[in-house]
């Protein structure tokens, strides 16, 4: 009986993950897809970067799940604290996207080069793989509706180990949908793709920075 | 081979002219029919979702819609449930209604709003929750797509925010 | 045209032959404007007649002079300025305001704009929902339904590809008009990487719309909200949005076109233009550079409103993907090297035949769509005096 209830528990988590995968990919897409397209390392390199990204995303999920479990509540959907956390996560995401998009400091020697750098926001070939973990982590902290649904179910297991197991299996189910995303890196054959990808990240950094600032302001104002 | 590609190219070019010339007579009807058959719908965030059931009152109806789950990346819109009082012209000057959202014979909320004669006057609604699922509203006008009251055609539409995504 | 040298005088076609070539387009136009002509009131009849003569007349001159660009530009600029006139007129007369009331969104009466199309594709594919507050099928209160506009777009894409930006877009004429104001460009050197920004904007709005299920471009980036309709400014967020719309419009649609004599919003920002570029490969027409005749004077490159020609592409005898087939380069080329071309045929095979086939399709579309908008706006203006 225990075996069948364990199998049923695992199947539920994986199936929930598989069903939620498209929504998860759509939620993570704005961060993941331009970043995969921007680096110059082909499909194999993109696969390893995706793995690191997903590891960071899992870290974000588990951090929030453990924190919520420690507080003894399911993910508080309407809490001001949640909005504040999202806001800070979005600001972190904006910072990481901005770092990924812009050339490193010191690469422009004069005004002409600096002006050019504004457009060189798409300068290809500047691989910084450590950003993968940070991007994944901040994306993971942005709780999408499938994660909220999974967290409610996970808390019902009444044990931390059970909740973490449920999350890991749910995460595995969603990850299946992320694997085809590495195909985006094949577009690097077209030289301008990296430039466009980095420009996209710069635009998205501005968007997430705005979202983060508004959420943090709202969270602080309403917490008082 | 070159002759073949030239013939194909000129045929395609000629068809372009033909298709454009015939478009006002054939294209739009065919295309509209195809779109209709595809089963597309407008995002329920705008439409309020599909009607679930109708409560009959004296002279008017209250339409309760299926709840719209949270859709956005952040909880900016939804989840909410839309209620519509129709026709607006038949409503009394002040509406105060207990509404049972899930048809379990227990009211879930009390909605109250004035119905001014002047249709251009801004509307305000108060919602008092009777179950934990419903969130309160006080003097709400048009805060967001998930918290509002508005005159839509010949109805007064109220959107009440919910605590959890419903189906 | 930006930086245009004086072109060599060309031969003109005889009046009788030009009229004969114009006849099918005139008859088609009569059919298209018959609805307006049949409406009651002198204003409608005057508007229908004026629009018909306008479209047929411009086509006649295209036939007579063997030139395309300047006659097309007259139509396009007229469309660009008359569309907002008619649109704003309707808003003011119905609502006394240009702002979109939420009631209109809830009732599905918001007219569908083609700029939304790229953002709707992924959400529609995943969930069969359209993330726009319009109606799927035309209604009495909303004839500009989603099915109608998408039908128009599919037709335009098959016929025109990116030439939508030269014959269809009812916004592009605004900046084309402003770009023609100054005699000389004040800014001549433009980094070609700016041409990639529209693709980045397209990627950003498509990805964000799929993630958030709302039309990101309409909420945050559309410069043309300034001359159509926009959400009422009632909060910090809507105030920021209004600021962005105004800045983009004044910068990209007014100031930069005057300074550069280029269509800067189209070339360096518009995501729909980038989207249409994807379909340039499937249309039957393009523009080629005959390398045997080309003198490498780069007049064509200097004349292009959207920087769709550079030294590499000229060397290959082709335009870039961003070519909107406006005809500027063809008309300015002294040597007859830049020519209209039907794909599959030899590079210099009968360019005038290619141009005619292209124009019959493009102008028919322009008459059906833009011509109708011009007639409608003229009807409102004439109604003021008759």
Tens-digit pLDDT profile for residues C330-366 = 999 999 999 999 999 988 789 999 999 999 999 999 9
Same domain, C239 and C117: yes
Same domain, B55 and B88: yes
Same domain, C252 and C117: yes
Residue pair C218/C208 in contact by the 8 Å Cβ criterion: no
Cβ within 8 Å, pair C131-B43: yes
Chains that touch C (3 or more CB pairs under 8 A): A, B
Mean pLDDT within C222-250: 89
Q: For chain C, give the mean pLDDT.
A: 92
Task: Give the closest residue to B74 by CA, choosing from C244, A218, C232, A222.
Answer: A218
Same domain, B62 and B91: yes
Same domain, B27 and B75: no
Task: Give the closest residue to C325 by CA, choosing from C372, C293, C297, C365.
Answer: C365
A128 — pLDDT class (breaks 50, 70, 90): low
Domain count, chain C: 3
Sign of CA dihedral A142, A82, A59, A176: negative
Q: What are B42's strand-pairing partners?
A: C130
Cβ within 8 Å, pair C345-B73: no
Question: pLDDT per residue over A6-16, tens digit each?
Answer: 788 888 889 88
How much is the pLDDT for B37? 86
A111 — pLDDT class (breaks 50, 70, 90): very low
Same domain, B14 and B65: no
Considering only CB atoms, which chain A residues are within 8 Å of B75? Answer: 77-78, 83
Same domain, B9 and B79: no
Residues 89 to 118 of C: which have CB under 8 A from any B CB? 102-103, 105-108
How much is the pLDDT for A220? 81
Same domain, B50 and B72: yes
**Given a cut of 70, is residue C200 above it in pLDDT?**
yes
Considering only CB atoms, which chain B residues are within 8 Å of C349? Answer: 6
Task: Give the closest residue to C272 by CA, choosing from C161, C180, C378.
Answer: C161
Q: Which of the listed ranges C51-55, C122-126, C226-230, C317-321 does the model predict with the highest average pLDDT?
A: C51-55
**Beta-strand relationship, B142-144 and B147-152:** antiparallel
Residue pair A187/A37 in contact by the 8 Å Cβ criterion: yes
Residue pair C62/C71 in contact by the 8 Å Cβ criterion: yes
Distance from C-alpha of B130 to C-alpha of B107, rounded to nearest angstrom = 7
Distance from C-alpha of A165 to C-alpha of A15, rounded to nearest angstrom = 14
A145 — pLDDT class (breaks 50, 70, 90): low
Is any Cβ of chain C less than 8 angstroms from the Cβ of B26? no
Crossing angle of helices A80-101/A130-141, nearest 10°?
A: 150
B74 — pLDDT class (breaks 50, 70, 90): very low
Structural domain span for residue C384: 1-90+350-386
Considering only CB atoms, which chain A residues are within 8 Å of B74? Answer: 86, 142, 211, 215
Structural domain span for residue B107: 44-161
Is any Cβ of chain B less than 8 angstroms from the Cβ of C81? no
Q: Considering only alpha carbons, which residue of chain B is nearest residue A147?
A: B73
Same domain, C314 and C267: no
Domain count, chain B: 2
Sign of CA dihedral B15, B17, B21, B23: positive
Which residue of A78, A86, A149 is in closest CB contact with B74?
A86
Same domain, B83 and B130: yes
Is any Cβ of chain C less than 8 angstroms from the Cβ of A142? no
A67 — pLDDT class (breaks 50, 70, 90): confident
Residues contacting residue C94 through CB under 8 Å, at least 6 positions apart: none
How much is the pLDDT for B167? 33
A139 — pLDDT class (breaks 50, 70, 90): confident
How much is the pLDDT for A163? 77
**Given a cut of 90, is residue C316 above it in pLDDT?**
yes
Considering only CB atoms, which chain B residues are within 8 Å of A88? Answer: none
Substitution target from C211, C219, C248 for chain A, most A beta carbons within 10 A: C211
Structure tokens at A200: 């996209």
How does A174-200 read in b/e, with b if 16+ C-beta sit within 10 Å? Answer: bbebbeebbebbeebeeebbbbbbbbb
Distance from C-alpha of A93 to C-alpha of A35, rounded to nearest angstrom = 12
> Where is pLDDT greater, at C10 or C186?
C186
Q: Considering only alpha carbons, which residue of chain B is nearest residue C31?
A: B24
Return the C-alpha torsion angle C80, C84, C86, C89, nearest 10: -160
| DSSP per-residue codes, C272-318 | HHHHHHGGGGTSSEEEEE-TTT-----HHHHH-TT----HHHHHHTB
Cβ within 8 Å, pair A116-C200: no
Distance from C-alpha of C31 to C-alpha of C27, rounded to nearest angstrom = 6
Cβ within 8 Å, pair B20-C364: yes
Same domain, C83 and C186: no
CA C226, C232, C236: angle at the middle one, nearest 5? 100
Same domain, C279 and C290: no
Structure tokens at C258: 């005057």
How much is the pLDDT for A40? 60
**Given a cut of 70, is residue A190 above it in pLDDT?**
yes
Cβ within 8 Å, pair B16-C158: yes
Residue pair B63/B157 in contact by the 8 Å Cβ criterion: no
> Where is pLDDT greater, at C199 or B30?
C199
Assess if residue B98 is contained within a domain.
yes
Q: What are C231's strand-pairing partners?
A: C100
Helices then strands, counting H and E runs in chain C, come out as 19, 5
**Beta-strand relationship, C129-130 and B41-42:** parallel
Task: Supply φ then ψ for residue C31, to 5 degrees.
Answer: -65, -45
Considering only CB atoms, which chain C residues are within 8 Å of B153? Answer: 107
Cβ within 8 Å, pair A215-B73: no
Considering only CB atoms, which chain B residues are within 8 Å of A144? Answer: 73
ipTM, 2 dp: 0.88
**How many angstroms separate the CA of residue C107 from the nearest CA in chain A?**
27
Distance from C-alpha of A66 to C-alpha of A63, rounded to nearest angstrom = 5
Considering only CB atoms, which chain B residues are within 8 Å of A215? Answer: 74
Mean pLDDT within A79-105: 79
Domain ranges of chain A: 2-223
Same domain, C256 and C110: yes
Residue pair B151/B119 in contact by the 8 Å Cβ criterion: yes
Same domain, B95 and B59: yes
Q: What are B80's strand-pairing partners?
A: B68, B161
Mean pLDDT within A117-130: 54
Assess if residue B166 is contained within a domain.
no
- Across chain A, the runs of DSSP E, i.e. the strands, are none
Substitution target from C216, C231, C344, C366 for chain B, most B beta carbons within 10 A: C344
**Given a cut of 70, is residue B49 above it in pLDDT?**
yes
Assess if residue B167 is contained within a domain.
no
Cβ within 8 Å, pair A145-B71: yes
Substitution target from A145, A146, A156 for chain B, most B beta carbons within 10 A: A145
């Amino acid at each position: 009986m225990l075996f069948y209830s364990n199998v049923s528990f695992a199947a539920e988590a994986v199936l929930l993950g598989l069903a939620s995968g498209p929504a998860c990919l759509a939620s993570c897409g704005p961060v993941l897809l331009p970043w995969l397209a921007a680096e110059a390392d082909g499909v194999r390199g993109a696969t390893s970067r995706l793995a690191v990204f997903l590891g960071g995303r899992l870290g974000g999920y588990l951090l929030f799940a453990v924190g919520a479990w420690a507080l003894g509540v399911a993910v508080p959907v309407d809490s001001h604290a949640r909005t504040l956390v999202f806001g800070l996560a979005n600001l972190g995401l904006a910072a990481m996207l901005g770092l990924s998009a812009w050339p490193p400091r010191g690469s422009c020697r004069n005004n002409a080069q600096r002006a050019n750098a504004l457009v060189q926001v798409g300068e290809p070939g500047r691989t910084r793989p450590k950003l993968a973990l940070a991007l994944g982590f901040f994306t993971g902290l942005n709780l999408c509706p499938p994660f909220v649904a999974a967290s409610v179910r996970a808390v019902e297991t009444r044990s931390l180990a059970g909740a973490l197991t449920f999350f890991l299996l749910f995460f595995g189910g969603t990850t299946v949908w992320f694997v085809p995303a590495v195909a985006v890196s094949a577009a690097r054959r077209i030289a301008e793709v990296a430039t466009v990808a980095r420009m996209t990240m710069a635009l998205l950094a501005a968007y997430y920075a705005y979202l983060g600032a508004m959420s943090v302001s709202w969270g602080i104002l309403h917490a008082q | 081979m070159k002759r073949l590609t030239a013939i194909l190219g000129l045929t395609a070019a000629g068809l372009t002219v033909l298709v454009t010339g015939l478009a006002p007579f054939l294209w739009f009807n065919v295309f509209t029919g195809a779109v209709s058959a595809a089963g597309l719908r407008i995002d329920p965030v705008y439409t309020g979702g599909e009607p679930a059931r109708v409560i009959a009152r004296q002279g008017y109806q209250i339409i309760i819609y299926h709840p719209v789950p949270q859709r956005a990346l952040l909880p900016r819109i939804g989840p909410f449930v839309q209620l519509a009082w129709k026709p607006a012209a038949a409503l009394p000057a002040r509406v105060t209604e207990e509404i049972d959202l899930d048809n379990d014979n227990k009211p879930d909320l009390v909605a109250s709003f004035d119905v001014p004669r002047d249709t251009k006057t801004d509307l305000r609604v108060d919602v008092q929750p009777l179950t934990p699922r419903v969130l309160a509203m006080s003097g709400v006008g048009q805060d967001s797509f998930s918290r509002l009251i508005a005159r839509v055609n010949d109805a007064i539409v109220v959107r009440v925010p919910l605590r959890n995504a419903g189906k | 045209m930006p930086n245009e040298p004086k072109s060599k005088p060309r031969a003109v076609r005889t009046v009788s032959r030009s009229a004969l070539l114009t006849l099918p387009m005139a008859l088609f136009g009569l059919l298209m404007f018959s609805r307006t002509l049949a409406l009651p009131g002198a204003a409608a009849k005057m508007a229908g007649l004026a629009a018909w003569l306008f479209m047929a007349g411009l086509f006649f001159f295209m036939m007579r002079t063997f030139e395309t660009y300047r006659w097309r530009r007259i139509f396009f600029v007229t469309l660009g300025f008359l569309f907002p006139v008619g649109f704003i007129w309707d808003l003011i007369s119905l609502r006394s305001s240009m702002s979109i009331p939420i009631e209109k969104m809830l009732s599905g009466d918001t007219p569908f704009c083609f700029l939304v199309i790229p953002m709707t594709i992924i959400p529609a594919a995943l969930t069969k929902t359209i993330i726009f507050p319009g109606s799927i099928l035309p209604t009495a209160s909303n004839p500009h339904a989603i099915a109608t506009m998408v039908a128009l777009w599919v037709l335009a894409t098959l016929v025109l590809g990116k030439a939508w930006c030269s014959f269809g877009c009812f916004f592009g004429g605004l900046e084309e008009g402003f770009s023609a104001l100054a005699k000389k460009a004040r800014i001549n050197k433009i980094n070609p990487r700016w041409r990639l920004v529209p693709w980045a904007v397209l990627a950003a709005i498509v990805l964000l719309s799929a993630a958030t299920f709302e039309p990101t471009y309409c909420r945050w980036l559309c410069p043309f909200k300034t001359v159509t309709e926009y959400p009422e400014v009632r909060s910090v967020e809507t105030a920021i949005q209004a600021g962005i719309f105004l800045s983009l419009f004044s910068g990209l649609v007014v100031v930069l076109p005057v300074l550069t004599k280029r269509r800067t919003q189209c070339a360096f920002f518009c995501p729909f233009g980038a989207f249409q570029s994807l379909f340039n490969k499937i249309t039957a027409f393009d523009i080629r550079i005959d390398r045997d005749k080309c003198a490498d004077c780069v007049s064509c490159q200097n004349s292009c409103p959207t920087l769709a020609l550079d030294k590499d592409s000229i060397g290959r005898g082709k335009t870039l993907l961003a070519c909107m087939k406006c005809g500027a380069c063809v008309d300015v080329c002294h040597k007859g090297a830049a020519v209209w071309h039907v794909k599959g045929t030899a590079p210099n095979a009968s360019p005038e035949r290619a141009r005619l086939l292209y124009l019959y399709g493009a102008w028919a579309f322009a008459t059906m769509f833009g011509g109708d908008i011009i007639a409608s706006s003229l009807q409102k203006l004439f109604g003021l005096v008759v």
